Amino acid sequence: MNAEINLAEKLGQKLPPQLVDFLQLAGRKAADRREKAYIVGGVVRDLLLGLDNYDIDLTVEGDAVALARYLMGSASDRITIHKQFNTAKIRWHDWNIDFVTARSETYASPGALPEITPSTLEADLKRRDFTINAMAIGLSGKSYGMLYDPCNGKRDLADKKIRILHDASFIDDSTRIWRGLRYEQRFGFELEPHTLQLLQRDIPMLDAISGERICYEIDCIFKEQYPEKVFKRADRLGVLNRFHPGVKFDMHTEERFSQARERCCPDSPSTLLYWLLLTYDLDIETKEAMISRLRLPKLIAQPLRDCSAVKDRLSLLAAPEIKPGEIYHLLFGYSLQAVLANIIATETEESRAALCLYMEKLHGVKAIITGSDLLEMGVTQGPLLKKMLDAILDARLNGKASSREDEIAIVRKMQAEGSK
């Protein structure tokens, strides 16, 4: 395999010194065991692009788990081993480093997870998704810093091309369709023509992928700086419709994504907020079908439903002179991210103002007096007690009570009225 370019200096310049120390140690420990360790995948790609990436994946020609154990010695509390996948994760200062044994993969059927056999670095690189992700840097002995690039990934980086490694790549694993679009848009690259042709041919294969894996890819897109670029491209190519029939990515959704970033700045919008905005225009039946087809977890499914419920209340929220207490009762119990999605997407200023008031102020309003206080004050358990608690809360929300004394006065008044 060609190994003529040495990136040792670049590693030293681009990675934090403690991480470089770790990589050198890993290389030496691997050599002690007559094994070889390499950095692979995204970090190599990003190092060549001059981008920061400390998400280190190490591939070991040998036994990755045994090497990780040997390396950490008595500090075994900093290793997590996944027996099922025969991989190890080491915590080193602020970083996680993954150790995986070099392997080749065979796919029993499209969409299934691959069967894995230990193998060489070259076979390991050749089983990967794209040429730009199929490079490695040696860490052991004389190979320290050497670039291994059997698929010409460096050339494709320079030419800004996304290229698969063999014609069945998208059939073996069609999540690569989403990954390809993500890298293309992240780096401003292009799918090279043959790869694009195969991607389009294999779009139907996406139906064989489990909901869980699709959701993982969608979440990865939401973590990009500009997810809308990926969805626009996916829509044009007919990939988005395979995510779920009826999902479209139009100008409105694009505008909502950018508004979400403005509203959440300096943080990034949560992936949940993007889920809600991507599906905002779908009716509840289509959302329910999507929830069950993709087996969306409750943490996403419930806010998706909440978002529709809040949307149904928008005209009520826009009523003239609506009281804060009414706004509260219309929205209480719904996910705040669903409220935020509606703030971003609604076209009426009045409903937006009501949603903002709820989000910024009302949802956190609480009475000082509790049910047990009322019992101590002689109120008996039952409907009156509940009525009193509601009245106190409404007085708080509507600015009619601002202290414990105000609340007690409301209770006394209701007690007096009740005894008449």
- CB count within 10 Å of CB 354 equals 28
Comparing CB distances to ligand CTP, the nearer of 55 and 376 is: 55
Q: Which residue stretch of 170-178, 361-369, 379-387, 411-419 sits at the interface with ligand CTP (rule: CB under 6 A)?
A: 170-178
**Nearest to ligand CTP of 176, 256 (CB atom):** 176
Task: Round to whole Å and give the CA distance between 346 and 318.
Answer: 11
Q: Which range of residues in 125-133, 146-154, 375-383, 387-395 is near ligand CTP by CB under 6 A?
A: 125-133
Could you tell me which residues are beta bridge partners of residue 117? 104
Among 35, 156, 173, 306, binds ligand CTP (CB under 6 A): 173
**Under 8 Å between Cβ of 11 and 23:** yes
In the bound state with ligand CTP, the residue whose beta carbon lies nearer, of 294 and 374, is 294
CB of 69 to ligand CTP, least distance (A): 23
Distance from C-alpha of 230 to C-alpha of 185, rounded to nearest angstrom: 6
As measured in angstroms, the least distance from the Cβ of 40 to ligand CTP is 7
Matching residue, tokens 């100008």: 251
Nearer to ligand CTP, 134 or 147 (CB): 134
Nearer to ligand CTP, 231 or 358 (CB): 231
Q: Which stretch binds ligand CTP (CB under 6 A): 172-180, 288-296, 340-348, 382-390?
A: 172-180
- Binding residue for ligand CTP, selected from 59, 101, 131, 133, defined by CB under 6 A: 133
Task: Give the x/- contact pattern for ligand CTP in 2-31, rule: CB under 6 A.
Answer: ------------------------------
HEC readout, the chain:
CCCCCECHHHHHHHCCHHHHHHHHHHHHHHHHCCCEEEEECHHHHHHHHCCCCCCCEEEEECCHHHHHHHHHCCCHHHEEEECCCCEEEEEECCEEEEEEECEEEECCCCCCCCEEEECCHHHHHHCCCEHHHCCEEECCHHHCCEEECCCCHHHHHHHCEECECCCCHHHHCCHHHHHHHHHHHHHCCEECHHHHHHHHHCHHHHHHCCHHHHHHHHHHHHCCCCHHHHHHHHHHHCCHHHHCCCCCCCHHHHHHHHHHHHHHCCCCCCHHHHHHHHCCCCCHHHHHHHHHHCCCCHHHHHHHHHHHHHHHCHHHHCCCCCCHHHHHHHHCCCCHHHHHHHHHHCCCHHHHHHHHHHHHCHHHCCCCCCHHHHHHCCCCCCHHHHHHHHHHHHHHHCCCCCCHHHHHHHHHHHHHHHHC
Count, residues near ligand CTP per rule CB under 6 A? 12
Q: Measured from the CB atom, is 179 or 287 closer to ligand CTP? A: 179
In the region spanning residues 37 to 66, those forming contacts with ligand CTP, defined by CB under 6 A, are: 41-42, 55, 57
Site for ligand CTP in 176-205 (CB under 6 A): 176, 179
Q: How far is the CB of 231 from ligand CTP (least distance, A)?
A: 16
CB 60 to ligand CTP: min, Å:
15
Selected range binding ligand CTP among 64-72, 175-183, 242-250, 329-337, rule: CB under 6 A: 175-183
Decide whether 69 or 186 has the Cβ nearer to ligand CTP. Answer: 186
Q: How far apart are CA 294 and CA 205, in angstroms?
A: 15
Indicate whether 129 belongs to the interface with ligand CTP (CB under 6 A): yes
Decide whether 222 or 280 has the Cβ nearer to ligand CTP.
222
Tell me which residues in 259-288 interact with ligand CTP (CB under 6 A): none
Q: Is residue 394 a contact point for ligand CTP (CB under 6 A)? A: no
In whole angstroms, the minimum distance from the beta carbon of 256 to ligand CTP comes to: 24
CA 167 – CA 48 distance, rounded (Å) = 26
Give the range of 171-179, 233-241, 296-304, 328-336 binding ligand CTP by CB under 6 A.
171-179
CB of 105 to ligand CTP, least distance (A): 9
Binding status of residue 114 toward ligand CTP by CB under 6 A: no
CB 209 within 8 A of CB 175: yes
When CB distances to ligand CTP are compared, the closest residue is: 42
Q: Which residues bind ligand CTP (CB under 6 A)?
A: 41-42, 55, 57, 128-129, 133-134, 173, 175-176, 179
